[in-house]
Chains A and B, each alone.
Chain A
Amino acid sequence: MAEISIRNVAKQFGDFTALHSVDLTVADREFMVLLGASGCGKTTLLRIIAGLETPSQGEVWIGGRRVDHLPPRQRGIAMVFQNYAVFPHLTVFENIAFGLRMQKLPQAEIDRRVTRTAELMHIGQLLKRYSGQLSGGQRQRVAVARALAMEPDVILMDEPLSNLDALLRLEMRAELKGVLAESKTTTIYVTHDQVEAMSLADRIAVMDKGLIVQAERPIEVYRNPAARFVGSFIGNPPMNFLPARKADNGSWRVAGITFKGPKAEREEIAFAIRPEDLSHAESGLPAEVRVVEPLGPHVLVTCDVEGHLFRAVLESDIVLSRGDIVKLAPTPDRIRWFDPETEQSLQVH
């Protein structure tokens, strides 16, 4: 049982606030992915959970134990560092065996675990090398293997696959997920790669400027962003936003078209739609085509709607060229609305 619970944790570096009051609960055996822009505090949060950084306020609980005051070695965690931290004076084998030796496991058990995790990370043939003789990606896999070999209750991984080529990353990703599910480990995994996040996560926690904005199942995060930031950060290409003026109670005018929307005490709110939820139609948002990029199965069209950048992913059989005026119709139940000031999502009742 290793549920992680972070309660009201904040962290200041001097007068810079890296984390504002973060609350997050990761269930036992859950695979939680932390996603967010560079510098938003992901590493800081991991380090606080690991005990490498003391929070300025708040509590950290692991497996029903409050662990703030415990040193890292007593927290039952293993960590993969963003910059690997592979010991340069030890061979790959000894690196992976390091934690096991600290636990004073019998040599046979150490051999078994090292070989197994090394095979898993495809570094079985490198066991005798030193870290100076490894490539960046190989070093990174040593770091992952070292953490996996510990068979910990909780594993914290800071961009563990960032340095691998696309193919290898795909493969490692699948293997990691398999191993971690099988070993019943609770995982917090930091990545910049959205596809990775979507494919691995039980839940995704999206962070922005030291805050967790949303922590839900990947499809929820994708479909129903809790805040404008989530919509613009997740999805490639990201969500489109257009200003909407109040027309009537509960209906809003967007680029000359009226849509049913939330009842809000505002003159203007933001209308949002994902590029793939638009279709070419008789009537819809008037858009002037700027750039057309064929993507194979689809075509990405970048347009201008009343002076705003607007992207649509359309069927590839449509023939368009620069300067054409097209009508883009949003799928009605995929339209989202955001408050312009709080930037929070507005619910349609």
Chain B
Amino acid sequence: MTAVTATETVAATADIRKRGRLVFAATIIVLCAWVLAPIYLLVVNALSSPDQVNAFPKSFVPGFETDSIAFFMGFAGVAKALFNSILVACITMALSIGLGAPAGYALSRFEFRGKGVFRIMVLMTRAFPLPLLALPLAVLFIRTGLDDTALGLALVHTTLALPFAVLITFSLFSGIPVELEEAAWTLGCTRVQAFRKVVLPLVLPGIAASAVFAFVISWNEVFAAAVLTIENRTLTAFLLQNLDVSPLHLKFAGGAVLVVPALIFIFAVRKYLFAMWGIANR
């Protein structure tokens, strides 16, 4: 009697377990679908001909036509906007790593007066809506001839990316024991040599990841780009400007082109994403 109920309870718990696992798996799949489905639909649109895009009801499989993309790429100004986007993003990447990495290194390796002030300044930038900087800078840039240039926009994007670069490189350098550098010094290295031979090889992948991060921050930025560029529009500014006037297939093709680097980006930095934020939290 008791034996029977016991086996029944065991069976029941096993049943509940199994159902729990099913629910768990189903939830995860639903959430994945929630993330992936909209991207899939964009891709469907981008890979369909303009007629298919404007047809109704719409097919849920792409027509595998390249007309939309071809039309988008051939559209006046797109190639240039694409080039500008890449150019601005590259300058942003170089500037934010070039300025941010030394600061991150100093924060991780030295105790000095004013360290706290600097950290607060960097953290403060997070509490500010940075794209708004574009407004006063628009005026300033006109005076200095930086208006409507890739460099001018990259400077604004660098204020967005620099705090991240500082915090990320800070955490990267902090992850490398000082003793490694010191060992190199005792083995005959100068500070610079020790950095080049020991620290740099170890942080390079992380630095690359934060460079990619800076690239994407710039690539995705809309407001400052729209405010600061007129002739030399970036892709985002171009699309924003033409939202009212461009046909649907143009928007969708443009959206798809915007999304592709994002997918590559998250893939490239996936190893560092969490480590970066874990420390940058502090």
User: Which of A83-91, A244-252, A278-286 is the contact stretch?
Assistant: A83-91
The residues of B that contact A85 with a CB separation of less than 8 Å are 177, 179-180, 182-183
Interface residue ranges of B155-214 to A (CB < 8 Å): 177, 179-180, 182-191, 193, 197-198, 201-202
Query: C-beta contact mask, A65-100 vs B, less than 8 Å → 1, else 0?
Result: 000000111000111010111011100000000110
Quick one: closest A residue to B187, CB to CB?
A: A99
Known: A83-B177, A83-B179. A88 touches B202 (CB 8 A): yes
Q: Is A38's CB within 8 Å of the partner chain B?
A: no
B198 touches A73 (CB 8 A): no
Chain B residue contacts of A81, Cβ below 8 A: 179, 182-183
Q: In chain A, residues 228-247, which have Cβ atoms closer than 8 Å to a Cβ of chain B?
A: none
Q: How far is the CB of A343 from chain B (nearest CB, A)?
A: 35
**B183 and A87: CB pair below 8 A?**
yes
Nearest CB of chain A from residue B207's CB, rounded to whole Å: 14
Report which of A78, A98, A143 forms a contact with B184, defined as CB distance below 8 A. A98
- Residues from chain B with a CB closer than 8 A to the CB of A146 are 183, 187
A277-302 interface (Cβ within 8 A of B) = none
Interface of B is mostly: helix
Distance between Cα atoms of A87 and B186 in the complex (Å): 13
A79 contacts B202, C-beta separation under 8 Å? no
Alpha-carbon distance A81/B190, docked complex (angstroms):
18
Q: Taking the nearest CB of chain B, how far is it from the CB of A36, in angstroms? A: 21
* B185 & A52 in contact (Cβ 8 Å cutoff): yes
Nearest to A150 among chain B residues (CB) is B187
Is A71 a contact partner of B190 (Cβ separation < 8 A)? yes
**How many angstroms from the CA of A83 to the CA of B193 in the assembled complex?**
22
Q: From residue A305, how far is it (CB to closest CB) to chain B in Å?
A: 48
Q: A81 to B202: give the CA distance in the assembly, Å.
A: 19
Interfacial chain A residues near B179, Cβ < 8 Å: 81, 83-85
Complex: chain B residue closest to A99, CB-CB: B187
User: How distant is A170 from chain B, measured CB to nearest CB, in Å?
Assistant: 27
State whether A72 and B185 are in contact (beta carbons under 8 Å apart), knowing that A81-B179, A102-B193 are contacts in the complex.
yes
Among B177, B188, B189, B201, find the residue whose CB has the most chain A CB atoms closer than 10 A.
B188
Please state if A103 and B180 are interface contacts (CB–CB under 8 Å): no
Contact of B188 among A51, A87, A88, A99 (CB under 8 A): A99
Report if A77-B180 is in contact (Cβ < 8 Å); known contacts: A88-B202, A89-B201, A102-B193: no
Known: A85-B179, A85-B180, A88-B202. A79 touches B186 (CB 8 A): yes
B122 CB to closest chain A CB (Å) equals 24
Instruction: Let me know if A89 and B202 touch, CB within 8 A.
Output: yes
Q: How far is the CA of A89 from the CA of B183 in the complex (A)?
A: 14
Task: Select which of A72, A84, A89 is within 8 A of B186 by beta carbon.
Answer: A72
Is A9 on the interface with B (CB-CB < 8 A)?
A: no
- In the assembled complex, which residues on chain A have CB atoms less than 8 Å from the CB atom of B197? 98
Q: A71-B190, A73-B186 are in contact. List 20 more A-B contacts (CB 8 A).
A: A50-B182, A50-B186, A51-B185, A51-B186, A52-B185, A71-B191, A73-B185, A77-B186, A78-B186, A79-B183, A81-B183, A85-B182, A85-B183, A87-B183, A89-B202, A98-B187, A99-B188, A102-B189, A102-B193, A146-B187
